[in-house]
Structure 1
């Protein structure tokens, strides 16, 4: 049992949960305070990760009750306990006091304008001065119910109370910026039961959404098991030892996988299949994932094959006759021996540099260069096993034809007309569209810019629409060396760029899951950050088709775009404005915009209320200028999907997503709860 002081200074006893909470607060205080055991303003700003110095000073003043210029442990505990366990009115009082700069118990317009300005700055939101004045005026007129030119706590509370969802969010998140560890009570038996339930539900949804993919995986692993079994049985009939049996079982699998691994890379063939009537029944969206699985299985089989033969050779070592030098010396002199050693070496290099961590570190060059060793790998495999040609002749012929097509396209230059450096490290490219380049909305291309790299090709989704016959547009986000160099080039004034900056090469186009949107009656398009690019092309095409009066089975379109950075909305805000204003689309497309990079803190709710009031008064969003308001939070997917299902209770709804993998898992789960189809963009 621990003790603390109540408001009257009396020592009171605390329960076990309160003790844990106090320990968390004390630990957080010590981390911020350092060795002297006190927190000054600079330490508080750094410790809480606050961006704006004036904003940090206001919070510091609220915590430093005695005005000493430093915060003691007890002052920190008192403030933290209000945020953690205080009543809603106590938490609102802190927010009100934060706005009340002169401490007279009311908020005038100048104080409101100042704190809104500081709050916007804290969240890295940038608006011009006239919009800040309009925001403050709209909020002040809304809250100042009696027209006294000042806002009392009662009026402030009434305003927040009129937005119950926002008030609940503010109250619930009021302590998150203290960065205390979250404590969740768990019932292990209930958790176990919930886990089994979630796994069962997840398996059902996976089967409903990914049936062709799961069938392919079952057939693939069954085929490998059959090949392994055949290789083992053949060696048993020859009387071979167990090690040789295992090695030859793996060798049989290597033949199968050596042929299959090419199929997933037949981009032109797969795009052709996607455009046929039976395309939806094939797991084409998982071609790259399948290629990766086959690659890992092939490498595993190669290791087992080598390991099996090492075991076989080690079993015949005899110090008096078959010494290790003799056995391995003879082996590596043979064609099978030296080609096998070369194969495993090549494969090891390719496999290591194809792992995700290499690309995550921006080392795409290493991935690309080492992956080109596959030409040597196939050549040595044919030397190692001459009969392998029967397995690879079909896929290999198709692959060589496709490589020939890519080579022909790779010899034709395309003129790059514009390269614009946009916000959030994004580059917009506009180039002359080649006569041979025919694509569908949502499809992607491979781009090579010789000034950046003479051999690297990178995939990017077209953001222009196919109806724009003269130009092709791409938006490229800087995530690696190549894309960062491209952005650096775009930042240079045009007269200062090298003469060859306009020369680029294209390969494609290639199909993607997003191109299936036109087969859906109620599509839900969800883009996270630069993941909006396939939907930009699709929405432009929809706009053009509806302007031309073209028939379409799409009855309602939901477009949801999330960004961490306000400036990122500038990429396609003109397109969204056109969709909202044009009579052909404004009643068909519903746009939802979320700014997810804001950190929950004391004024999040009041800023949100101010933006809502501004939107009600002007009919425009403060940040984007759209009719659709920008929500300063992450989407509540259960609520979003529930409202869509209520609007379309008996219709098929399909979710199309492009963005980070982590969110994809959440969307797949939530989409399944409402019986929505689900597709994710993959490259």
Structure 2
């Protein structure tokens, strides 16, 4: 099968790209121009600004003309073209409210409530049993109420242990997603469920541990053993020793699994999380010592019952780990490596016995780097293609090592490009990668693949209309989805329910996603049925060259000046209320799937909008929020001087009335956790988080005097030495 896109159709109807203007743009054209022009100028030196001021394009165009130029770029916006009232039609009856609530919230909240109720019932029933059971009178008289709390918490812990491994059995979750169980249990939130159980285990472990500390104290007092007896009971007795093994393992797992430490040091999280093996091992013997005995025989009949709870989930989990090892040894080889700009490496892999679906992800291991490291990557290939591919952004230890093993040395390539002034182009440009890197002549390393595993994006094809929203690095899973949609429409093998797709691409700049931009161009050129509508939103600042291109291009230019796409670029963030309002009016009595991948704050916003604009009555439009689609990122830092790193910029709180506040964590000769200006280290290692004003709010800059290790949360950071700083 030929997997390349057919030649672009030259006689495509361009009527939909008319220069029709609307009044519903997110920013007024004149405001957009002034903001972008000011932002672009701030990137230039004084000399460059002087040249820019003297350029013909800047001289000839008036302020109003410039605004018209930018307005032309927003010449067609389906979200605004179908303009109507933005009024939210709220449900009037209880049944309509319930129907609307069930669209996105019902199953998840009902399941959560049931799980909390089960915990409450287990603890309450256990508490009453241990409080009034006539066979435990001696224990209650010796230890008091803390004995009841310890035993009740232990029973809840056994229930949690029985299910905590189920959410991480990926093959099981992928299978259950295809069954009616998926409509009852929110399987797409399996990791959140796993975390919730983990926190529950931590809480009831604290209750159990503190209760037994008190119990041991009372036993030491009752036997006149004093502090020596208390220490023996804690650290030498069987329950005490195994309990501390479990407690230490649990604390380490929880601390390294917290979101920030996990993102910053994924490998540390991965290795330390395998402490669950000694954790469960110690648990198996923890209750086998029959320290607190009942009053009547048989006294130790029900001890060490942990295995009865754990056996089901533990067996399935062990089976999945064995299956991983078997699948990893299937024949795989790298068929192609594409070195994209902006430190993105595309890896195409041939593998036997593998069937994929759009939007799934795999785990990748390179034995030459580490036999034990498995990293998740979202597939960017379509199921219709005869290979699987991932796009790896070279950030972090593992991805840098992987790129070098594949012969992609970006530092050396940058020197060659600077010397030869060659441009490395994406494969979608139809030009092979030009490189003088001799490493590419070596034999490519072997990779092991586990998966694929399912994700919420598989549901795209279950709706008549789907909205796909990708922000920042979150565009990655949509490569597979959009390609698969294109194949299904142009080479249909079976009927599909999907009739229309709206893709919203939101990013600060396009520099890191040239490969994706080229893919969109290929899809757009050959989407003869206008099945996919692409809307790009640029939220960052424009460069001087981009401003110049906008100013000098004709209004009638078919392709967008910035992206090269036929669909225009919109400046600023999407007006979601307007978009959802117009989708509601355009598609009455329709189920619309909304699928998102990107920063969590935007995901919460879209989730809220889906609930707000969904209608519970029969003829209403229902927006089904498909949860955040899984995408992986190697983590942030450490960053070197001269590098540019982009992290979760949606976490910024930005307004036109205030300056940006950035949290910086600098680990050098000293320690600093501060916002705004801070001092790094114990000497004169000052750095400034600044050079912003209202028009320059999207680009905080960090300057370091020494080669410190710096890490930030929120924003695009450029790392410089202090002596290179140009003060404002």
TM-score by length of 2: 0.65
* Mapping 1:511-590, distance limit 5 Å: 511-549=454-492, 550-583=494-527, 586-590=529-533
Match of 1:250 among 133, 137, 153: 153
Partner Cα distance (2:189, 2:218) in 1:
43
Corresponding residue of 1:39 = none
1:482-511 Cα deviation digits (max 9, x unpaired) = 223334545236632695643000001111
Q: CA deviation at 1:520?
A: 0.9
Q: CA deviation at 1:100?
A: 5.9
Partner Cα distance (1:219, 1:312) in 2:
32
The structure-2 alpha-carbon separation of the partners of 1:207 and 1:481, relative to structure 1 and needing over 3 Å to count, comes to farther
Q: Report whether the alignment pairs 1:298 with 2:216.
A: no
Partner Cα distance (1:100, 1:608) in 2:
15
Match of 1:340 among 239, 243, 249: 243
Contact 2:220 2:229 in 1 (8 A): no
Match of 2:169 among 259, 266, 280: 266
Match of 1:440 among 353, 357, 367: 357
Question: Helix, strand or coil for the counterpart of 2:251?
Answer: helix
Partner Cα distance (2:39, 2:518) in 1:
39
Contact 1:417 1:431 in 2 (8 A): yes
1:297-326 Cα deviation digits (max 9, x unpaired) = 111111211111112222344399220212
Contact 2:559 2:567 in 1 (8 A): yes
Partner Cα distance (2:69, 2:328) in 1:
61
Contact 1:464 1:537 in 2 (8 A): yes
Contact 2:549 2:561 in 1 (8 A): no
Q: CA deviation at 1:523?
A: 0.3
The structure-2 alpha-carbon separation of the partners of 1:479 and 1:647, relative to structure 1 and needing over 3 Å to count, comes to farther
Corresponding residue of 2:286 = 384
Q: CA deviation at 1:451?
A: 2.5
Partner Cα distance (1:669, 1:513) in 2:
18
1:133-186 Cα deviation digits (max 9, x unpaired) = xxxxxxxxxxxxxxxxx55x5xx436637978999xxxxxxxxxxxxxxxxxxx
Q: Report whether the alignment pairs 1:112 with 2:14.
A: no
Question: Helix, strand or coil for the counterpart of 2:130?
Answer: helix
The structure-2 alpha-carbon separation of the partners of 1:646 and 1:371, relative to structure 1 and needing over 3 Å to count, comes to same
Q: CA deviation at 1:391?
A: 0.5
Corresponding residue of 1:62 = none
Q: CA deviation at 1:515?
A: 0.7
Partner Cα distance (2:325, 2:581) in 1:
49
Partner Cα distance (2:506, 2:521) in 1:
16
Q: Report whether the alignment pairs 1:610 with 2:551.
A: yes
Contact 1:564 1:598 in 2 (8 A): yes
Corresponding residue of 1:638 = 577
Question: Helix, strand or coil for the counterpart of 2:281?
Answer: helix
Could you list the runs of 5+ residues in structure 1 that have no partner in the other structure? 1-45, 59-97, 102-109, 116-149, 168-200
Contact 1:527 1:657 in 2 (8 A): yes
Corresponding residue of 2:87 = none
Q: Report whether the alignment pairs 1:227 with 2:122.
A: yes
Q: Report whether the alignment pairs 1:481 with 2:397.
A: yes
Higher radius of gyration, 1 or 2: 1
Q: CA deviation at 1:512?
A: 0.1
Partner Cα distance (2:398, 2:101) in 1:
36
Partner Cα distance (1:557, 1:166) in 2:
22
Partner Cα distance (1:500, 1:456) in 2:
21
The structure-2 alpha-carbon separation of the partners of 1:158 and 1:620, relative to structure 1 and needing over 3 Å to count, comes to closer
Partner Cα distance (1:111, 1:566) in 2:
27
Question: Helix, strand or coil for the counterpart of 2:357?
Answer: coil
Q: Report whether the alignment pairs 1:681 with 2:634.
A: no
Q: CA deviation at 1:626?
A: 1.5
Question: Helix, strand or coil for the counterpart of 1:454?
Answer: coil
Corresponding residue of 1:414 = 332
Question: Helix, strand or coil for the counterpart of 2:590?
Answer: coil
Partner Cα distance (1:427, 1:581) in 2:
25
Q: CA deviation at 1:332?
A: 3.1
Partner Cα distance (1:202, 1:479) in 2:
46
Q: CA deviation at 1:625?
A: 1.9
Contact 1:445 1:460 in 2 (8 A): yes
The structure-2 alpha-carbon separation of the partners of 1:608 and 1:519, relative to structure 1 and needing over 3 Å to count, comes to farther
Match of 1:160 among 47, 67, 80: 67
Q: Report whether the alignment pairs 1:451 with 2:368.
A: yes
Match of 1:53 among 45, 50, 63: 45
Q: Report whether the alignment pairs 1:401 with 2:319.
A: yes
* Mapping 1:471-510, distance limit 5 Å: 471-490=387-406, 491-492=408-409, 495-496=438-439, 501-510=444-453
Partner Cα distance (1:498, 1:224) in 2:
60
Corresponding residue of 1:374 = 276
The structure-2 alpha-carbon separation of the partners of 1:478 and 1:220, relative to structure 1 and needing over 3 Å to count, comes to farther
Match of 1:660 among 585, 599, 608: 599
The structure-2 alpha-carbon separation of the partners of 1:286 and 1:608, relative to structure 1 and needing over 3 Å to count, comes to farther
The structure-2 alpha-carbon separation of the partners of 1:158 and 1:535, relative to structure 1 and needing over 3 Å to count, comes to closer
More deviation in 304-313 or 272-281? 272-281
Question: Helix, strand or coil for the counterpart of 1:507?
Answer: strand
Partner Cα distance (2:337, 2:483) in 1:
20
Q: CA deviation at 1:354?
A: 0.8
Q: CA deviation at 1:606?
A: 7.4
Corresponding residue of 1:88 = none
1:195-234 Cα deviation digits (max 9, x unpaired) = xxxxxx9999775313222222112211211222233223
Contact 1:426 1:487 in 2 (8 A): no
Q: Report whether the alignment pairs 1:353 with 2:292.
A: no
Contact 1:447 1:458 in 2 (8 A): yes
Q: CA deviation at 1:256?
A: 0.7
Question: In angstroms, what is the RMSD of aligned CA positions?
Answer: 3.3
Corresponding residue of 2:723 = none
1:81-123 Cα deviation digits (max 9, x unpaired) = xxxxxxxxxxxxxxxxx9764xxxxxxxx4325x8xxxxxxxx
The structure-2 alpha-carbon separation of the partners of 1:604 and 1:646, relative to structure 1 and needing over 3 Å to count, comes to farther
Q: CA deviation at 1:580?
A: 2.0
Partner Cα distance (2:207, 2:328) in 1:
39
More deviation in 298-307 or 449-458? 449-458
Partner Cα distance (1:413, 1:279) in 2:
33
Partner Cα distance (2:71, 2:444) in 1:
55
